[in-house]
Structure 1
């Protein structure tokens, strides 16, 4: 149940960010933004939040989420953008990825407090 709650929080955060940037700023439809949110949420939750975060740290996981967000928005935006130039689409993906990565940093703090994905979150590293 905690994973569903975490996915809902992540989904709400992501759709708000993407709609403000892509929907209002670059005229993507709400359906396109919703589709990107679902794909981005699934990919980044399993890779960045449940795989990278427990094994490394918050900064590394947020950086991974930045890369995932940039690639998903850019690659999915190509067929969905309807006439936006490649440079503008890359700029939209960059801005989206930066803001999502900042949001993910704080989302990871929530995940660490709820101990979702692993028990190594708050343990000191002994290397």
Structure 2
């Protein structure tokens, strides 16, 4: 049930960011934005949140999510008939905004301990 809640949070974050950047900022149709949200949410949750984050750290997983978001948004935008320069620019800004959201979302996943039985908790150094 916790994964469903995490996916709902990620989905809400993703649709808001993509609608603001792609829909309002670049003129994408809402249906295209919704479709990109569904694909990006599934791919980035499986790859970045469940596979990379438990094995590495938040920064590495966030950078991976940045790359996945850029490629997914860019390729899907091109497939939907957006011009190459518009698709690349929209994908860049959307991926940057998504990476900021993912960085914060990863703290939620780590705090909830979703599949991170061997994951190191955030540690503070005392010297």
Change in CA separation of 1:7 and 1:21 when aligned onto 2, cut-off 3 Å? same
Q: State the match for 1:62 in structure 2.
A: 62
Give the structure-2-normalised TM-score: 0.92
Give the structure-1-normalised TM-score: 0.92
Q: For structure 2, which runs of at least 5 residues remain unmatched after alignment? A: none
Q: State the match for 1:52 in structure 2.
A: 52
Q: State the match for 1:42 in structure 2.
A: 42
Which of structure 1's runs of 4+ aligned residues deviate more than 6 A?
none
Counterparts of 1:95 and 1:85 in 2: how far apart (Å)? 16
- Matches for 1:66-105 after TM superposition, within 5 Å: 66-80=66-80, 82=81, 84-105=82-103
Q: For structure 1, which runs of at least 5 residues remain unmatched after alignment? A: none
Counterparts of 2:57 and 2:89 in 1: how far apart (Å)? 27
Question: Shift of residue 24 of structure 1?
Answer: 0.6
Counterparts of 1:95 and 1:64 in 2: how far apart (Å)? 16
Question: Shift of residue 25 of structure 1?
Answer: 1.1
Kindly provide the CA deviation profile for residues 43-89 of structure 1, in whole angstroms up to 9, marking residues without a partner as x. 00000000000000000000000000001100000122x4x431121
RMSD: 1.2
Structure 1 SS opposite 2:114:
coil
